[in-house]
């Protein structure tokens, strides 16, 4: 095997060469090919293999690397105590998303600590085209495993998940490839890193780009860019392939796994109908407290075209007092069970609006498909772990404080609301991701009406592209997540339009939904489904026309 760092990122370390033996470990062949002449001269005087190995080991220990089994007659493996790696995932046999979930669990159990997830892509097969469509993604992780140890672990995971020898590029339940291993290049009979065909494969490059941000955060990331040999690094390669213009075409689309299917939010905007089971919600408190009235309202919203129903059993209006888990479940579960029994609910998605992890867990066990958390995990420290285990989409909303304190003066102060909402929301989502919630299961909500003044809400509605742009500096994957907006009948609309009664704010709601959609919102949460659906259809048509127009100009 040949292991070397990029000369761009670390000119002091160019190459180390080894012979792999039958056990998959490494025997030393050349242990001192250090580029700096001074280090070469120092090593020339070391005549015994043992002294050579000890000298090189000492040098690499200074760099943060170490040797294992460093005697002349035994095998060695060069590795870092902590190496950052990128691993690609693919599947097109069986339950594809379940294959991904199981692979991630096995990776974590094997000493691979996952730190970032790419988006999830459904892609047309490449090379061998007569086979089912693939799911593709990638993860960044940290591991103490050496490159060949890591390869062996991944091959065992593939085997455990049912992969057998078959035709190259053919169908498989899981495919795990090492794209990058720290700052090193690896070349052996069984492993090449960076993966030799990265640069020609959009279904690999798209997830790989998701794991980065527009700001180069470390020497390791700079090294990955340098491996391309291009002045613009990975971004330049991605653009040459077609970049973002490739996403949404028949060959490759970003998808959100939900229920038993995949949601492609680029094709149409989803309408989420609001069902409040509370006696004190600002718009319709007390109207739907009985099971019969709640079911009737759901039936109406579905008939008017709702794609999702969001059920809330705890009021989150300003100054609302908090109820207990038991009281919230007492309101929620009978209605949820009745809704699940409705024939009309087939093909629709049920979301539960809660900040309690216990409510989330019970709701999903009773058939809910998504969890909508206004606090993004701030009001229940166990929420992220529970959602990670539930493996359902998670709507993370921006809010400062809680419903009782969110409109306090200290929570309403912003220097730049879009920039700060992006930063604060990203920090919550990063914590969620580190807790095991993949980026491909996250939906962002900037929290219109929550710890925001009227002008802040307006800035957000027109500034959704700025929010995505700010997040993209740190994570392309999170910046590509679906955005949900919920301006429906909010107080700021009443202030602007002089409509003190919440149920008189539907025209203003339609205008705010239109503004948000044209700025990039993918899901709209509304009380009045029928009238807002017309606005959604028009905006979707405008966006399709704009896309077609831009393609013609190119």
The residues that are catalytic are 490, 525
Q: Which of 24, 121, 25 is CA-nearest to residue 76? A: 25
Q: Is 47 in a helix, a strand, or coil?
A: coil
CA–CA distance, 90 with 112 (Å, rounded to integer): 18
CA–CA distance, 276 with 148 (Å, rounded to integer): 55
Residue 200, burial from CB neighbour count under 10 angstroms (0-12, 13-18, 19+)? exposed
> Chain centroid to CA 303: how far?
33
Check if the beta carbon of residue 83 is closer than 8 Å to that of residue 144.
yes
Q: Is 346 in a helix, a strand, or coil?
A: coil
DSSP secondary structure of 235-303:
HHHHHHHTGGGGTTBTTEEEEEEETTEEE-TTTS-EEEEEEE--SS-TTTTTTT-SHHHHHHHHHHHHH
Per-residue DSSP letter, 320:
P
CA–CA distance, 506 with 517 (Å, rounded to integer): 16
Q: Mention every residue, 6+ apart, whose C-beta is less than 8 A from residue 375.
A: 355, 383, 397, 399, 402
Question: What's the sign of the alpha-carbon dihedral 70, 72, 76, 78?
Answer: positive
Strand duo 349-353 + 65-68: pairing: unpaired
Q: Is 185 in a helix, a strand, or coil?
A: strand
3-state secondary structure 414-428: CCCHHHHHHHHHHHH
């Amino acid at each position: 095997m040949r292991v070397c760092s990029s000369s761009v990122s670390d000119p002091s370390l160019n190459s180390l060469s080894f012979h792999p033996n039958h056990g998959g470990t490494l025997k030393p062949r050349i242990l001192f090919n250090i580029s700096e002449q001074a280090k070469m001269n120092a090593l020339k005087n070391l005549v015994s293999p043992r002294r050579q190995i000890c000298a090189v080991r000492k040098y690499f220990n200074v760099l943060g690397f170490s040797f294992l089994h460093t005697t002349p007659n035994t095998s060695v493996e060069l590795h870092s105590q902590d190496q950052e790696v990128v691993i690609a995932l693919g599947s097109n046999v069986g339950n594809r998303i379940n294959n991904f979930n199981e692979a991630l669990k096995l990776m974590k159990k094997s000493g691979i600590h996952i730190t970032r997830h790419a988006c999830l892509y459904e892609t047309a097969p490449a090379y061998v085209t007569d086979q089912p469509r693939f799911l593709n993604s990638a993860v960044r992780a940290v591991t103490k495993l050496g490159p060949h140890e890591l390869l062996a672990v991944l091959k065992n995971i593939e085997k455990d998940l049912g992969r057998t020898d078959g035709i190259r590029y053919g169908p498989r339940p899981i495919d795990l490839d090492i794209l990058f291993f720290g700052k090193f290049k690896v070349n052996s009979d069984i492993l090449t890193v960076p993966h030799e065909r990265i640069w020609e494969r959009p279904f690999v490059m798209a997830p790989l780009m998701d794991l980065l941000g527009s700001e180069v955060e470390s020497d390791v990331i700079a090294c990955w860019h340098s491996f391309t040999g291009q002045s613009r690094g990975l971004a330049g390669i991605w653009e040459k392939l077609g970049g973002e213009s490739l996403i949404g075409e028949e060959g490759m689309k970003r998808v959100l796994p939900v229920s038993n299917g995949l949601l492609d939010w680029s094709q149409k905007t989803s309408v989420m109908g609001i069902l409040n089971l509370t006696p004190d919600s600002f718009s319709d408190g007390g109207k739907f407290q009985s099971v019969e009235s709640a079911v009737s309202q759901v039936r109406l919203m579905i008939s008017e075209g709702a794609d999702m129903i969001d059920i809330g059993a705890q009021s989150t209006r300003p100054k609302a007092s908090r109820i207990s888990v038991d009281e919230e479940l007492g309101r929620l579960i009978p209605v949820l069970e009745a809704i699940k029994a409705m024939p009309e609910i087939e093909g629709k998605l049920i979301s539960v609006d809660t900040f309690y992890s216990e409510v989330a867990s019970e709701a999903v066990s009773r058939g809910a498909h998504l969890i909508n958390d206004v606090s993004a995990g701030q009001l229940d420290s166990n929420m992220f772990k529970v959602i990670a285990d539930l493996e359902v989409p998670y709507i993370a909303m921006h809010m400062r404080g809680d419903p009782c304190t969110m409109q306090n003066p200290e929570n309403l102060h912003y220097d730049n609301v879009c920039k700060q909402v992006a930063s604060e929301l990203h920090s919550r989502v990063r914590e969620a991701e580190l807790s095991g919630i993949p980026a491909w299961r996250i939906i962002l909500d900037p929290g219109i009406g929550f710890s925001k003044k009227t002008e802040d809400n307006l800035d957000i509605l027109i500034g959704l592209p700025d929010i995505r742009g700010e997040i993209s500096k740190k994570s392309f994957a999170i910046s590509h997540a679906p955005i949900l907006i919920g301006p429906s009948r909010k107080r700021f609309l009443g202030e602007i339009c002089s409509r003190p009664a919440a149920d008189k704010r539907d025209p203003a709601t339609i205008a705010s939904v239109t503004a948000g959609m044209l700025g990039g919102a993918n899901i709209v949460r509304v009380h009045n489904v029928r009238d807002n659906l017309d606005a959604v259809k028009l905006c979707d048509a405008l966006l399709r026309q704009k896309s077609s127009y831009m393609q013609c100009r190119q």
